[in-house]
Amino acid sequence: MTSEFTPATDSGAAAGFGATSRSGPAARFGTVSRFGTAGSSTPRSTRWDVARLTEPNRLWGANGIAFGPDGRLHVAQVLGGQISAVDTTSGDVEVVVGQDGPVRTPDDVAFGAGGEMYIADIAPGRVWRRDAAGELDLVASSVRLPNGITCLGDRLFVNEMRPDGELVELFGSGAEPALLTGGLAMGNAMQIGPDGKLYYPHMRTGQVWRIAPDGGVPELAAEVGSPVAVRFDRAGTLVVLSTGPAGLITRIDLASGNRTEVVTGIGGLDNAAFDDENRMFVSSFAHGGVMQVQQDGRSREIVRRGLNGPYGIAAGRGGTVYAVDHFSLARTTDSGAVASVDVVGGGMPTFARCAAADGDGLALSTVTGEVHAYDPQRRSTRRRASGLGELTGIAVGPGGEVVVAASGSGRVLRLDESDEVQVLADGLDHPVGVAVDDAGACYVGDDRRGQVLRLDDEPVVVADGLGEPQGIAVLGDELLVIEVEHRWLRRICLRTGASTIEAEDLAVGLPLGGAEPPDGGGMTYRPPAFADLAVAPDGSVLVAANGEGSVLRLRPPPTA
């Protein structure tokens, strides 16, 4: 045991990532992000001091992982649409399957006897084979939501992550898949056990099942809460990862039935792999990164965890900075420390996108068109509205009313204290980002029209000719707007209409070359399609730098 490992905890301490002070890495720029030049330039401003609260994320989420024949750990990034190879000694990361290829949403990977890589491309329902030269061939396109994938010599098995899913064997010859069994309650990562049987989870029922590779009657092997991955270490011990904020790992001796449980504090565990020395490495769909985990739950980072987007950004009245990140909610303090608050499977609503401070809590909107009141201390949520369509902006007014931009329907909606929904504006092209000033006036950006509007009885154009205005916020009598096309922050005086560029070269906007992945099975795998903006109680400005996976803070320079 060495001091480089972090003690296990259920408070999320081991889940901290990007924890830096203003004088440390958070104040430096020039780090090449996972998007190359999109995050390698230095933000410039004559009015503000600019600092990163989190480092750029080198892995856009981390899902299935497996060691390849080159000894590197290969990581599927479902939100990033790419696969990277990680040197577990140095932490170096190399993209081996890029966003510009046919693979859209890689969720799990496995290696065959000849060293070829097999990829479960979940949203479009495809399974790919990548040979040693890097060439991709389509193995199957008939599997619905393929996720768990594993090899037994030259044989390839895949299961489906859906209710009443199937477990099938696939054939490189193009023959029809062979059904082993159906009725899976959301399958996921699986593996052949020392008894030669195939072990796989039922995520919804909290069970691990096994079946012979040639089919037969499935057997219940174990019951474990929210199992997301089934693995075996080099000694033949069954290791089951559970999803959720605690980061629970359960080890089961199949011969005796004895089990041990450890809480790692790594929220959103997704998968695990063991190297030749039986060292365990895990991934997190919530925060990306790769961790090495000891049997007692202590862990150390191999690749620093970070943000998948970030999506929405908000600052509580106590100064806490919250980043909503699709699968998770993270927080950062003024000192630069960052930790996981909650993940999908915990108390937060599924696929949250936008956030706004609401007293001691948060107002959250989801990609599925819901609005929630969320308590970050209790990790509890109350749904206030649903069926509102795609939401890309949320704000809380001085009277407690919640305003959302519904870009899918071209509307701006208002929720009063009784959760009644009113239409403030209709017929907009693509509203993204909303803000409410102290007098209750509402502003919205329309990134397709290049406008910012004030919603009076009829919408009034405040600014026109902008380059994809998205995140907006009110600071006193000024309106701040991110123009994603130009990657700058514009200030608009609400009294005179005069405007200036406040900061340039912001790491906002998505990289070129990656086609938007499809949705699948009621789940969404889209990357953050907008850049958010918020004003903290101390007057600093927070930018969701979705082009590199960081949070930027713009703060007035200290006066003499």
In whole angstroms, give the CA distance from residue 327 to residue 371.
Answer: 16
Q: Give 401-411 pLDDT, tens digit per residue.
A: 999 999 989 99
CA gap 299, 540 in Å, rounded = 34
Spatial neighbors of 135 by CB under 8 A, at least 6 apart, are none
CA 193 to CA 232: how far, in whole Å?
7
Checking DSSP bridges between strand 207-211 and strand 126-130, what pairing results, if any? Answer: unpaired
- Asked if the peptide bond before residue 310 counts as cis, ω within 30 degrees of 0, the response is yes
Determine the Cα–Cα distance for residues 156 and 148; give it in Å rounded to an integer.
11
Count of Cβ atoms closer than 10 Å to residue 560 Cβ: 2
295 and 442 housed in the same domain = no
Q: Is 110 part of a structural domain of the chain?
A: yes
Contact 85, 94 (CB under 8 A): yes
Q: Are both 374 and 386 inside the same structural domain?
A: yes
Number of domains in the chain: 2
- C-alpha angle with apex 203: 188 to 330, nearest 5 degrees? 90
Handedness of CA 508, 509, 512, 515 (dihedral sign): positive
Which residues, in sequence order, are CB contacts of 513 under 8 Å at separation 6+?
98, 99, 100
Asked if residue 463 belongs to a domain, the reply is: yes
**Which of 34-48, 131-145, 241-255, 433-447 bottoms out in mean pLDDT, i.e. has the lowest?**
34-48
Span 150-187, pLDDT tens digits:
999 999 999 999 999 999 999 988 899 999 999 999 99
Under 8 Å between Cβ of 310 and 302? no
Report the relative pairing of strands 207-211 and 198-202 from DSSP bridges: antiparallel
Task: Choose one of 303, 333, 364: the last residue of a domain.
Answer: 303
- Residue 33 reports pLDDT greater than 80: no
Residue 392 resides in a domain:
yes
Query: What six digits make up the tokens of 355?
Result: 């956030």
Q: Answer yes or no: is pLDDT of 469 > 90.
A: yes
The rounded percent of the chain whose pLDDT value lies above 70 is: 88
465 pLDDT above the threshold of 80:
yes
Final residue of a structural domain among 303, 331, 362: 303
* Residue 294 sits in the same domain as residue 345: no
Do 488 and 345 lie in a common domain? yes
Is-contact 478 499, C-beta < 8 A? no
Determine the pLDDT at residue 269.
95
Last residue of a domain, one of 259, 284, 303: 303
What domain range is 211 assigned to? 65-303
208 & 286 share domain: yes
- If asked whether residues 150 and 192 sit together in one domain, one would say yes
> For strand 280-284 and strand 269-274, is the pairing parallel, antiparallel, or unpaired?
antiparallel
> Tokens in use for 49?
């001091």
**Claim to verify: residue 261 and residue 330 sit in the same structural domain:** no
Residue 165 token pair: 């899913």
Contacts of 100 (CB under 8 A, 6+ apart): 513, 514
Q: Are 449 and 463 in contact (CB under 8 A)?
A: no
Whether the predicted pLDDT of 91 surpasses 80: yes
Torsion of CA 296, 297, 300, 303, to 10 degrees: 140
DSSP structure string for 136-201 = EEEEES--SSEEEEEEETTEEEEEE-SEEEEEEEE-TT-PPPEEEEEEEES--B-EE-TTS-EEEE
**Strand, helix or coil for residue 239:** strand
- Kindly state whether residues 284 and 159 are assigned to the same domain: yes
Please say if the pLDDT value at position 523 is more than 70: no
Instruction: Say yes or no: 286 and 312 in one domain.
Output: no
Dump the DSSP string for 28-57.
-----BTTBHHHHSPPB-SS-EEEESSPPP
> Do 226 and 325 have their domain in common?
no
* Among the listed residues 429, 435, 394, 441, the one whose alpha carbon sits nearest the alpha carbon of residue 415: 394
CB atoms near residue 546 (< 10 Å): 28
